[in-house]
Structure 1
Amino acid sequence: MASGGPYFDDVRSKPEIIDLSKDDVVEAGNHVKDSSEYSAKPNAAVSSSVHELLECPVCLNAMFPPIHQCSNGHTLCSGCKPRVHNRCPTCRHELGNIRCLALEKVAASLELPCKYQSFGCIGIYPYYNKLKHESQCIFRPYNCPYAGSECTATGDIPFLVTHLKDDHKVDMHNGCSFNHRYVKSNPHEVENATWMLTVFSCFGQYFCLHFEAFQLGMAPVYIAFLRFMGDDVEAKNYSYSLEVGANGRKMLWQGVPRSIRDSHRKVRDSFDGLIIQRSMALFFSGGDKKELKLRVTGRIWKEQ
């Protein structure tokens, strides 16, 4: 049980979080079918020459319909066409609106391995279904859950735990109960700030405790919430509670931790956590209400 946590004086002002999750999936009309219609098949080699034909020369990603070509037959993806100002990046001829239907048909006949093969996915999927599968693949890496920076690190959970400990110097604790104090000497001057992340090892899993100040409309508030280091399906196996109070009064929040598949900003902006108005937080802090000294206690448990 982690108790009597450190004072969190390290405040990051105006955090900017980049959500690297990609929810938008390019679909190719009638070519795209739901991934549930396909079962994983044994891995198979695909000709490198075909791979090269389907690789966009600009972004180097696989091309999906509409695949464009110039009058000389050079191809590129529809996403890159506006970037080259309608000029072929290979021969500089005008692109026009010519579709490379032959290459689109070749692509429709292919089955390719998931790009997360190195992370453990062994499935083989039709070319036009591959992108959709990869957006939902359970083996896809996670984004770093650290808030208050533009960290672009990705990886599996063991990698991210080591990354948070070594690179971000976060507070690491063992146990399913906690008792922390969040301190700031000039809370009236802080409208957007995040305190140091705390990571808990509990039930063989890892959880991230977030605490920050932000503006809810015109009102300055604080929010505390928990995120689960794993997928949403696993996160729903756990619940947690957060409590703050003083002078015979208290506020209690109970909820389900959100997966780190959801960005820190997405969870915060959905208000899925314990929200405390600044005036109430300062009341709980005691004294002359000019200094934040807020104690947050909580626990995590596994649902039966």
Structure 2
Amino acid sequence: MAPGGSFCEKAVESHPSVPDTSTSPTKSESNTTTKKSAVNVLGKCGIRSNNGVYELFGCSICANLIYPPIHQCPNGHTLCSNCKNRVLNCCPTCRHDLGNIRCLALEKVAESLEFPCRYQNLGCLDIFPYYGKLKHEQNCKFRPYNCPYAGSECSVTGDIPTLVAHLKDDHMVDMHDGSFYASMTYGYCVVIKHYGLKDHMVDMHDGCTFNHRYVKSNPHEVENATWMLTVFNCFGRKFCLHFEAFHLGKAPVYMAFLRFMGDDNEAKRFNYSLEVGANRRKLIWQGIPRSIRDSHRKVRDSLDGLVIQRNLALYFSGCDRRELKLRITGHIWKEE
């Protein structure tokens, strides 16, 4: 037993390190720099390298790269800060109390090393200094996107083709409750039904113009409700049109906005307009689609779109004010 240490009453399961499957370097390969040898250090299941020093930076529990502060038990077993909180101060390797010991030597060694991006399996081939790697990964263009579907907290991530296939396969729900529907005209007439507050349908459309008609039978009950998501294939890119009802403070409002399935720098190359009106009056919104890197809720809460107060929405719907009938037209174009 190490001085000052005590055994934990219950062992915490430790994750075995990933075996080193690399072969010994040839004579010509032995002259490669440390920077090049860092490539393929991080695998999906943990840390691998021709140089065993990199294996020191893999957390024994989650197998992720350890960032300072690096903690260790009295016997020198290291783990990351997140896992230290999870194991209730008990070392998962030797079961001694962890205490608050920092592994300063390992933190110092980290300053001289470089690691590949965690998204190298998705196409990023760059390597970075230890302390710059995390910052890069937060903005890496190869990092996966979150599913843009707003009907529930969908946890699926992936590249754009993967998410488009996911939207088609997993969010084409057929559970109509009669509450809403939207009809769209793209040179011909199609009626698409809305599928409840929790289960929504995704409509796929080719083209850069659209004409949506949103209907709700009882507009005086404004919940946090989301209508069917529409995905547009335009200029070889994908765009998502959202429309929903929610309360802005105590005021019930409706909002329509567009999101771009790609990064923000590419989203800025496009513009879009939305128009709603009736009785010789209309509202027009023109803006830049937000990237799906920004969450649906973030865009909605920033009010970056066409916002319609309920009274005005009902005025656009007709004189009886008994049913919401909003016709929203839109157009997407590209900046030259």
TM-score range, shorter chain: 0.7 to 0.9
Match status 1:81 vs 2:84:
yes
Structure-1 residue corresponding to 2:39: 44
For 1:278 and 1:246, the matched residues in 2 are separated by: 14
How many angstroms does 1:82 deviate by?
2.6
TM-score normalised per structure 2? 0.75
SS at match of 1:79: helix
Structure-1 residue corresponding to 2:118: 115
Aligned sequence identity (%): 74
SS at match of 1:214: strand
Query: CA 1:167–1:284 in 2, change beyond 3 Å: closer, same or farther?
Result: same
For 1:231 and 1:41, the matched residues in 2 are separated by: 29
Match status 1:207 vs 2:202:
no
Q: Does 174-183 or 50-59 show the bigger shift?
A: 50-59
What letter corresponds to residue 188 of structure 1 in structure 2? H
Q: Does 163-172 or 242-251 show the bigger shift?
A: 163-172
C-alpha offsets along residues 121-180 of structure 1, whole Å, 9 cap, x if unaligned? 111112222111111111111111010111111111111112112221210111111001
For 1:278 and 1:42, the matched residues in 2 are separated by: 61
SS at match of 2:137: helix
Matching residue within 255, 270, 274 for 1:238 = 270
Matching residue within 135, 141, 148 for 1:132 = 135
Q: Which runs of 5+ in 1 are unaligned?
A: 1-39
For 1:178 and 1:171, the matched residues in 2 are separated by: 12
Aligned pairs (5 A) from 1:1-304: 44-45=39-40, 46-47=49-50, 49-169=52-172, 170-304=202-336
How many angstroms does 1:109 deviate by?
2.7
The alignment covers a number of residue pairs equal to 265
Q: Does 144-153 or 71-80 show the bigger shift?
A: 71-80
For 2:75 and 2:38, the matched residues in 1 are separated by: 35
Question: Whose radius of gyration is greater, 1 or 2?
Answer: 2
SS at match of 1:53: helix
Cα contact 2:37–2:50 (8 A) shared by 1: no
For 2:316 and 2:53, the matched residues in 1 are separated by: 65
Cα contact 2:38–2:114 (8 A) shared by 1: no
Cα contact 1:43–1:123 (8 A) shared by 2: no
For 1:275 and 1:172, the matched residues in 2 are separated by: 24
Cα contact 2:77–2:93 (8 A) shared by 1: yes
Q: Does 280-289 or 267-276 show the bigger shift?
A: 280-289
How many angstroms does 1:266 deviate by?
0.2
SS at match of 1:158: helix
What letter corresponds to residue 104 of structure 1 in structure 2? E
Q: Does 156-165 or 274-283 show the bigger shift?
A: 156-165
Q: Which runs of 5+ in 2 are unaligned?
A: 1-34, 41-48, 173-201
SS at match of 1:210: strand
TM-score normalised per structure 1? 0.83
Of structures 1 and 2, the one scoring higher in RCO (CA 8 A, sep 6+) is 1
For 2:241 and 2:203, the matched residues in 1 are separated by: 10
How many angstroms does 1:101 deviate by?
1.7
For 2:38 and 2:124, the matched residues in 1 are separated by: 10
Cα contact 1:41–1:123 (8 A) shared by 2: no
For 2:321 and 2:335, the matched residues in 1 are separated by: 39
For 1:172 and 1:49, the matched residues in 2 are separated by: 50
How many angstroms does 1:108 deviate by?
2.5
For 2:278 and 2:258, the matched residues in 1 are separated by: 22
